[in-house]
Structure 1
Amino acid sequence: MFSKKAVFTFLQAQVAAFLGGITDYGLMILLTEVFQLHFAFSILISGTVGAVINFSINRIWVFKNQSGYSSHINSQLFKFALVVLGSISLKSFGTLIFQKVFQIDYRIGRLITDSFVSYGFNYPLIKYWVFRANKKQNVVESN
């Protein structure tokens, strides 16, 4: 049903997401617990740092074969920034809901929220919109 290439790309994207995510999550805890920022602000800051790491790995390693390394970085950065804004908003809101409505610790609520946002929002948009292969570009690169 899925090609080996599609599975490999998905796994690579998960490595990129993990590295960005672990940075994001660790920094969120540091900012909240040590620097006493509200977790919603911590998520904003840590999400931005994690996004830079995620974008870099995705662009250089994961999707370079699909979208070509020479793709217009400005367009990719703009699209990625929109995805990150949506992602950070969903993570902040979801974590807040788990904490306020269900009385779940923000660290646990964040992990639950992240799993939904990562697979249902981030990955599809990053793969099919941010780093989508341009048909004209693929023809040129294959010649």
Structure 2
Amino acid sequence: MLRFFKAQASSLMASAADFLVTLAAVKLFGLWYLAGSITGTLTGGVINFYINRNWVFQAHAKALRWQVVKYIIVWTGNLALLTSGVYLLTHFYHLNYMLSKLLVSVTVGISYNYIMQKQFIFSVK
């Protein structure tokens, strides 16, 4: 159970960076909200991998190369789910893109990311 809470703390840290980068990309650099969201998701993904590998799952002794390959596979699914969800909620339901991102991020984070990282990337039994 402690690992789950550590993973959620890691997710919050990565999400904070993700949301800040998304806002900066859209508001300061004028990117389309989906491009900003993708940029933020990439940033958050790098941060999340580092924290999860070294702190949450303590898998720093395992082969980095294969963890990175597995993470990219899972992260690509995360990116597809997140981008699709943000687009659908923003475009069709007229929610603010940041609210859409928050709702989809929480849903995907709990239902997909943690499970895939625990069972596939960092292989914790």
Query: TM-score, length-normalised on structure 2?
Result: 0.95
Equivalent residues in 2 for 1:35-46, closer than 5 Å: 35-46=29-40
Residue 99 (structure 2) aligned to one of 87, 102, 108: 108
Structure-2 residue corresponding to 1:56: 50
| Per-residue CA distance 1:64-87 (angstroms, 9 max, x = gap) | 1xxx43111111111111111111
1:127 aligns with one of 94, 112, 118: 118
Alignment equivalent of 1:69, drawn from 54, 60, 76: 60
CA distance in structure 2 between the aligned counterparts of 1:76 and 1:35, rounded to whole angstroms:
33
Distance 1:85 1:71 in 2: 22
The one-letter code sitting in structure 1 at the alignment partner of 2:122 is F
Q: Is the 8 A contact 1:23 1:46 kept in 2?
A: yes
The alignment's C-alpha RMSD in Å is: 1.2
Query: Are 1:93 and 2:84 an aligned pair?
Result: yes
Runs of 4+ deviating beyond 3 Å: none
Give the secondary structure class of the aligned counterpart of 1:69.
Answer: coil
Name which of 104, 115, 118 aligns with 2:109: 118
**5+ residue gaps in structure 1?**
1-6, 135-143
Q: In structure 2, list runs of 5 or more residues that go unmatched.
A: none
Question: How far 1:54 moved relative to its partner?
Answer: 0.6
For 1:39-97, what per-residue CA distance to the aligned partner results, in whole angstroms no more than 9, with x for missing partners?
11112211111111111110111101xxx431111111111111111111111110110
| Cα distance in 2, alignment partners of residues 109 and 95 from structure 1 | 5
How far, CA to CA, are the matches of 1:25 and 1:83 in structure 2?
A: 20
The answer on whether the counterparts of 1:16 and 1:54 sit within 8 Å (CA) in structure 2 is: yes
Aligned length: 125
- Bigger Rg over Cα: 1
Asked if 1:21 is matched to 2:15, the reply is: yes
Equivalent residue, structure 1, for 2:74: 83
